[in-house]
Structure 1
Amino acid sequence: MKRLFTLLAAVLISTTAFSQAKKEAVHIYNPQANAKADLAAAVSKAAKENKHVLVQVGGNWCTWCIAFHNLVDSTATLKKYINDNFETVLVNYSPENKNEAVLADLGYPQRFGFPVFVVLDGKGKVLHIENSAYLETDEVGANGKKKLGHDVKKINSFLKGWTSAAISPKTYETKAK
């Protein structure tokens, strides 16, 4: 009986300890950031470098936002492509700061859920809003269920369609012979 009591006490103590252990907070998005100023700086830099601005709207509460950020961070070719062709800005959406005025200026992209991507030109004009659901993987795991996450090929396809070169009329002009 003493052993049973000791075992139950150990289980109770360990369960209590684990339930009180806090999950380390994610700090990808900054609720205190001045999104309007960050966007203005990115637009200015993009104009000088003949790039577009890739805006990722989401929050530290959003597992899909974090997963996307981590995928880009861990996929060297994707990260390089984004850095070579876009200025990037993370715009926070959370109870602490919904950035409502900024999102209104961007055409209310939050209507698609999170994360959501907005492509701006070097003048700050919204060129495209991308629903991240279209970038999810179609892969099926060994268990027969759809895998969770985003597809690198779909992301690349989306990005390639919205570079400054991709939408420049000069790209499509026929060369005089």
Structure 2
Amino acid sequence: MNSIEIMVKEHENIRRMLKVIRKYCYKIMTCQEVDYDDLYKVIDFIRNYADKHHHGKEEDILFKVMSEKIERLSKNGAITGMYIEHDLGRLYISNLELALEDFKKGNDEKRLDIIANFISYTDLLERHIEKENTAIYKFAENILPEESKAFIEKECSTIENSAMENGLQEKYISLLQLLEEKYI
């Protein structure tokens, strides 16, 4: 499935950002100079590339179809777990943003919350991506009926084409490269 291949590639890009985040947190922890405004760029990447674009395709298309067509995944909670982990990631990023705002107002101790939420996010996403790549996506490719696969391909293709026309991939891959050069 081409849509699965694209989602795996997006996972690779998200993992690259997770490495940037860890390096950034290490610099904060060791009192090295960092540009705290770069956190807003990372948050933008996470919210718009990882969550809205990537997770949107998973939640609105792939997981929805899988829940409808693969009863055992629906009943054993595998798909529900993916939704829960997406929501937990959103919570970490919301908490991170609040900590960043408080830090910028002069609460130096909020650096701890920035690190804690970012590291929690990276740990969650690393494990989450592994489950999707090695289990959820494989189930989709191997068990879904052909008409369901065709529907997923069509819907994901529409989203990808729209994102391409709007320059979404180019924008966020360029941002990722910029932050890698700066922090890795």
- Give the structure-2-normalised TM-score: 0.24
| Structure with the bigger percentage of helix | 2
| Structure with the bigger percentage of strand | 1
Larger Rg: 1
